[in-house]
């Protein structure tokens, strides 16, 4: 058997959910305007403009498997993550360029 419904203040609702007031208010507005469909995160269906091209990822994973198998991810991230322009590694980095 279900007990009586308990009314919570907005502050108590925010505290229970562990959410800030602003996003919670936004969720309430979206739910009231569009129902459950308004709560869907639309960013998940968009491709990031910072996404690395597939061929570049394949080249890097090939290097990891074949040439640099004893290296850990930190080596690649330190060097590859700091590349100012794609394809040009900093001097003294893991690929010897």
Which tens digit of pLDDT belongs to each residue from 23-35?
889 988 999 999 9
Task: Identify the pLDDT of residue 32.
Answer: 93
Chain centre to alpha carbon of residue 59:
23
Range of the structural domain that residue 16 is part of: 10-45
For the question of whether the overall pTM of this predicted structure is more than 0.75, the answer is: no
Helix, strand, or coil (residue 46): coil
* DSSP letter assigned to residue 40: S
The yes-or-no verdict on residue 94 having pLDDT over 70 is no
Q: What's the rounded mean pLDDT across residues 67-80?
A: 72
* Residue 4 belongs to a domain: no
Give CA torsion, residues 10, 12, 15, 18, to 10 deg.
-50
- Count up the domains in the chain and report the number: 2
Task: Identify the pLDDT of residue 63.
Answer: 80
Task: Identify the pLDDT of residue 85.
Answer: 53
Q: Are 62 and 95 within one domain? A: yes
* Confidence at 2, pLDDT banded by 50, 70, 90: low
Q: Are 56 and 16 within one domain? A: no
């Amino acid at each position: 058997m279900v007990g009586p419904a308990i009314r919570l203040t907005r502050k108590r609702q925010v505290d229970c959910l562990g959410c800030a007031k602003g996003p919670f208010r936004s969720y309430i507005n979206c739910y009231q305007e569009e129902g459950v469909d308004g709560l869907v995160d639309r960013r998940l269906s968009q491709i990031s403009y910072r996404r690395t091209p597939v061929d570049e990822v394949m080249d890097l994973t090939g290097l990891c498997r074949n040439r640099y198998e004893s290296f850990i991810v930190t080596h690649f991230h330190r060097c590859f993550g700091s590349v100012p322009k794609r394809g040009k590694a900093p001097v003294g980095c893991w690929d010897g360029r």
